[in-house]
Amino acid sequence: MINLANILLYASAEQPVETRSWWDDPTVIYFAIFIGIAIASWAVSYSLKRKFAKYSEEPIRYTGKEVAEKMLHEHGIDDVKVTCIAGQLTDHYNPLTKTVNLSEDVYNKATVAAAAVAAHECGHAVQHQQAYAPLKMRSALVPVVSFSSSIVTWVILAGLLMVNQLGTTLLLVGICLYGAITLFTFITLPVEINASQRAVNWLEESGVVDREKKEMAVSALRSAAYTYVIAALSALATLLYYIMIFMRRRE
């Protein structure tokens, strides 16, 4: 993720003394991008919370649990369980345990917001059933990303602080590790967008919501999708920042 720690890491490393224009300094460029993405992230988060609060007051006939069970049944999926978990916005589909896990508000409430979230998570179950290619790719990358995330900060930190050949090599290794994380965030985009498309289409076709409330579900899920776009752009900006540092090291 893009954050001030990355700027401080580079700033703390020993840099060659030379005169450069501000636009040649990756730290300045990165800081400007950081500010832009931070503002966009706040705006998306605010919009998401506002819309979910609003659409949580729009009643429908089915609870989130009933929506999930109905969607799974109509897609011929009988080996996936719908469970209730603690927390807020903790909803997710687990392909390993074949469970659609819904937060308490989504599981118990009969609102547009609850239906949208429940149907979205079931969209992932449908993807799993139909062997949706991006979902398979994302699942295959999970162990790689888990390993990369656990060591990438330390590898890059060592690479930045060591200004010899070993440091440059470590920085390149860190870039490769972070590249895997960035790839994962971009593969996540079609997975999430496709799940939302499946959700809203089914919600209307099944009669769970009418056309007006379908638009509410679309609006809520679109805001949720923007959070993944921000995450992907943030990861890409951070990766490019590290690459810029690496290229300067090689000059």
Distance separating alpha carbons of residues 182 and 150, to the nearest angstrom: 15
Of the two residues 17 and 205, the one the predictor is more confident about is: 205
Q: In this model, does residue 187 exceed pLDDT 70?
A: yes
pTM for the predicted model, two decimal places: 0.83
Element (H, E) at 94: strand 92-94
pLDDT band at 17 (very low <50, low <70, confident <90, very high): very low
Scanning the structure block, which residue is given the tokens 């429940």? 118
Which whole number is the average pLDDT over 90-114? 95
Q: In the predicted model, what is the mean pLDDT of the chain?
A: 89
Answer for the pair 149, 102: CB distance below 8 angstroms, yes or no: no
The pLDDT of residue 250 is 76
Distance separating alpha carbons of residues 67 and 71, to the nearest angstrom: 6
pLDDT band at 23 (very low <50, low <70, confident <90, very high): low
The pLDDT of residue 30 is 75
Which whole number is the average pLDDT over 60-76? 96
Residue among 124, 103, 125, 107 at smallest CA distance from 115? 107
Catalytic, 121? Answer yes
Select which of 57, 121, 204, 215 is catalytic.
Answer: 121
Which whole number is the average pLDDT over 47-61? 92
Q: What are 95's two structure tokens?
A: 């392909």
The pLDDT of residue 31 is 80
The pLDDT of residue 21 is 56
Output the CA torsion 25→230→177→97 (10° steps).
170
Q: In this model, does residue 2 exceed pLDDT 50?
A: no
pLDDT tens digits for range 122-166: 999 999 999 999 999 999 999 999 999 999 999 999 998 987 889
Which whole number is the average pLDDT over 96-112? 95
Q: Mention every residue, 6+ apart, whose C-beta is less than 8 A from residue 148.
A: 177, 178, 180, 181
Task: Give the SS3 label for residue 83.
Answer: strand
Which whole number is the average pLDDT over 178-206? 95
